Structure 1
Amino acid sequence: MSDPARGGTAGPAPTCRSTERALQAVAFDAIGPRYSEAFPAKAGQLAAGHRLLAELEPGAPVLDIGCGTGDPTIRQLSEGGLAITAIDLSDGMLSLARQELPGAAAYHRMDLFDLATTRAETAWGLPGLGPAGAGTFAAATAFFSLILLPQREIRPTLKRIRTLLRPGGLLVLGMVEADLDDYPMRFLGQEIRMSGFLREELTETLHRTGFTVEAMNGRPYAPACSALPPEEQLFLHCRRTT
């Protein structure tokens, strides 16, 4: 998912944000199960989940941000005995997750940009994911969900995720290494917008938003059933600095 033009394109004006996010959700409603067809190999994601399971006690509360169909993360972590709260903006993806993994998580439709803000309660009816939920979660996972935000929104979103974590809480993050910002592209017949960082900038961004990167694993990946070029996937194990 790399961008031949360094830096990509400028993001939409703030007043257009809700429209852009609604269009993203509709795109993923249409993509549905074909997403897993394009990314069938999940070794990197599973390895990141395995490390998380090794660090958490049974029953620990975990927030899965941008859960998609729930496979493999919700399946893996729920089978490992963790208590999962899962959010996604796509009704279609949430429907698939509920069908395939009923009872494995508490599923909620929500824009991840609204985590730890009053909109979590007023717009989505989820006070536990708003300011009142500060310090609730032992860990959060965000596999390839933050890449759907413009860079200017990724940084405050990381700070909001930090707010919801306990001191010393963990963030397991999946990103694509690419120097692009809110770049439009075709994916499985839908237009989506993607952002990324080079790994040094990503590490610095996490540091500035209150995280220590304890481990980073890069894996080359060639999407199947898609015209997308090969990409470098980054899996990061981070800890909230106290």
Structure 2
Amino acid sequence: MVNYRFIFLCILICAFGNSQQRKVKLDILDKNNISLNYLFYLPEDYKNDKEKKWPVILFLHGMGERGDDLELVKIHGIPKIVSSNNNFPFIAVSPQCPTEYVWRDKKMLIALESLLLKIIKNYRVDKSQIFVTGLSMGGRGTWAITAHRPDLFAAAAPICGGGDPATASRLTKLPFWVFQGALDKVHYPEESEIMIEALKNKGGEVRYTLYPELHHDSWTITYDNPELYKWFLSKNNKH
């Protein structure tokens, strides 16, 4: 595999109370010449226990949060959760997709893979507990990045976004918990259900929560649910 070189620029402490979420600009110096901004969170106890290795959550935002303003990424999902929870028990990585891309573009999948590998190299990461979740465009990105590198992840939780059913055979060893609003008119429930059916047909492990009265925003209730994080922590890809 190609080794990607990284330069970290502009590491700024965010105004998140006592939390340790930071803004980081990461230049990926490879043939694609893609630069990613991202939010990075270390648990409060990370600095206290020098031996412990930590689980990681990669969070992929939706279409409306693309660009170069990381304040947008804080609006929903994991960055919103950690802004008020110093005890969030994961390292959280929340990149921002450039406006001209979507997460499932090949260049972005390579960039996300490179970012995760850099985090694994530089921090005390439990490599058996790396998780990914995303909403809307990020839900689609969750399916795409797990198909791109299924070996990296222990579990995935796509929210209101479908994937490519042709990739289901690559995902059979990875547990999924899929969330969807039944009244969603942006990404219809059928998008998620096609992937669920494809996974089941290949013998994959998939759990499905359909919210009967919700429209597109099925992520707020999902990320506020402690059971999601308990489910993540119950999974690992140790062999």
Report the TM range for the smaller structure's normalisation: 0.3 to 0.5
Which has a greater percent of helix? 1
Q: TM-score, normalised by structure 1?
A: 0.38
- Could you tell me the TM-score, scaled by structure 2's length? 0.38
